[in-house]
């Protein structure tokens, strides 16, 4: 009988300096041994025994090729799975800033509705096309407040909605606009405003900028970084765009066939990848042979990612 590396799985690869990094952090979300099966014929084991810690205020990149289970894992954490998807094992816990630990997997009914969006919000994959076409931006933001903050008066909601648009770089005059009157970038900014509305402790962003052109994408990413600094929410940032993750993430988890095969600081993932699959992913982006990290964090537009003069930070790994 042959055993594939997946069969002899012993937990994600990491390094001692990653352990040291984790020891300095405070967790906001913990996922333990989560498995999700799509109950179709034959069944699809989309997420397999995933454990993950997200620290307060950190950006955790979740990388991996299409179909590896990123969105399914995000849904499992936020209790958004619908049949035929079934969580077959594991749990997720939010370590609330009040000090209370909330077992997300045990929530139901009103407790679950009150929890979602308030503690963990999500920018859905393809969200930019998910704004309701027949109601205005204002009405959609008001809906969030009406559901979760029933004590807010109309004037208070109006002010909060204006403030949110300003925060994400959209003119508050746009509150009366409908989705079709906004550019793709603006629609995505509005979705981020909705996700920020209740000041969640965790935001899950599933390919939030993939459909946008590079300039718009970078503007939005800088906004997210700035907002994160200001409000200290943590982000699980999902994308198959590894170069992008290397620029924006504190840590990166690499997912393959439903499992997290490696998790480490972005620097270590880049400079000292441990898992063969991580090395393969890195080598599939030739532009990674130069410097990274300057663009989004510092706004250095002139950064030349493939300058022949730079040392080889890949350590010869191709
Ligand atoms: N409703 C469904 N029924 C059956 N299988 C599904 C269903 N939704 C997803 N899957 C399968 O589950 C696996 C994980 O899918 P998922 O959408 O989580 O991947 P992903 O990493 O988010 O991919 P992408 O990068 O393309 O968004 C894939 O094999 C997919 O085909
Ligand atoms: Mg997905």
Q: Give the closest residue (by CA) to ligand 1 atom 12.
A: 46
Ligand 1 atom 26: residue of nearest CA: 66
Any ligand 1 atom below 6 A from CB of 115: no
Give the whole-angstrom CA distance, residue 131 versus residue 272: 41
Tell me how far the alpha carbon of residue 64 lies from the centroid of ligand 2, in angstroms: 10
pLDDT at 10: 62
Binding site membership of 259 for ligand 1 (Cβ less than 6 Å) = no
State which of 39, 48, 61, 68 you would mutate to test the pocket of ligand 1, scoring each by most atoms of that ligand within 8 A of its C-beta: 68
- CA of residue 241 to ligand 2 center, whole Å: 12
Sheet containing 120-123, strands listed edge to edge, beginning at the edge strand earlier in sequence: 120-123, 202-206, 234-238, 59-63, 251-256, 259-265
Question: Measuring from atom 25 of ligand 1, which residue has the nearest CA?
Answer: 66
Ligand 1 near 41 CB (within 6 A): no
Identify whether 84 is preceded by a cis peptide bond (ω within 30 of 0): yes
Task: Supply the pLDDT for residue 309.
Answer: 34
Q: Is the CB of 44 under 6 A from ligand 1?
A: yes
Report the separation in Å between the CA atom of 272 and the middle of ligand 2, taken as the mean of its atom positions.
Answer: 27
Closest ligand to Cα 239: 1
Instruction: Print pLDDT tens along the chain (318 aa).
Output: 444 444 455 678 899 989 999 999 999 999 999 999 999 999 999 999 999 999 999 999 999 999 999 999 999 999 999 999 999 999 999 999 999 999 999 999 999 999 999 999 999 888 777 788 899 999 999 999 999 999 999 999 999 999 999 999 999 999 999 999 999 889 999 999 999 999 999 999 999 888 788 888 888 888 889 999 999 999 999 998 898 999 999 999 999 999 999 999 999 999 999 999 999 999 888 776 555 544 454 444 443 333 333 333 333 333
**Cis amide prior to 42 (ω within 30 degrees):** yes
CA distances from 79 to 36, 41, 42, 159, 312 (A): 12, 23, 24, 31, 43
């Amino acid at each position: 009988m042959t055993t594939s590396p997946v069969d002899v799985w012993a937990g994600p690869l990491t390094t001692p300096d990653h352990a040291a990094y984790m020891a300095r952090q405070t967790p906001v979300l913990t996922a333990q041994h989560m498995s999700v099966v799509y109950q179709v014929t034959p069944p699809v084991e989309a997420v397999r025994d995933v454990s993950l810690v997200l620290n307060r205020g950190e950006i955790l990149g979740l990388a991996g090729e299409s179909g590896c289970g990123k969105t399914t894992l995000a849904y499992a954490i936020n209790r958004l799975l619908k049949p035929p998807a079934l969580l077959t094992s594991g749990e997720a816990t939010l370590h609330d800033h009040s000090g209370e630990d909330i077992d997300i997997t045990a929530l139901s009914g009103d407790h679950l509705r009150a929890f979602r969006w308030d503690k963990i919000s999500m920018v859905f994959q393809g969200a930019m096309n998910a704004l309701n076409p027949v109601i205005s931006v204002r009405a959609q933001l008001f809906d969030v407040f009406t559901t979760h903050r029933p004590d807010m008066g109309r004037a208070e909601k109006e002010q909060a909605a204006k403030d949110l648009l300003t925060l994400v770089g959209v003119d508050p005059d746009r509150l009366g606009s409908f989705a079709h009157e906004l550019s793709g970038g603006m629609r995505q900014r509005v979705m981020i405003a909705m996700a920020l509305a209740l000041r969640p402790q965790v935001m899950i962003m599933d390919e939030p900028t993939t459909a946008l052109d590079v300039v718009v994408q970078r503007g939005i990413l800088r906004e997210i970084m700035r907002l994160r600094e200001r409000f200290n929410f943590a982000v699980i940032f999902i994308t198959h765009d590894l170069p992008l993750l290397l620029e924006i993430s504190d840590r990166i988890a690499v997912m393959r066939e439903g499992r997290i095969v490696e998790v480490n600081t972005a620097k270590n993932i880049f400079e000292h990848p441990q898992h063969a699959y991580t090395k393969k992913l890195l080598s599939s982006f030739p532009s990674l042979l130069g410097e990274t990290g300057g663009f989004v964090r510092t706004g250095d537009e002139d950064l030349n990612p493939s300058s022949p003069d730079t040392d080889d930070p890949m350590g010869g790994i191709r």
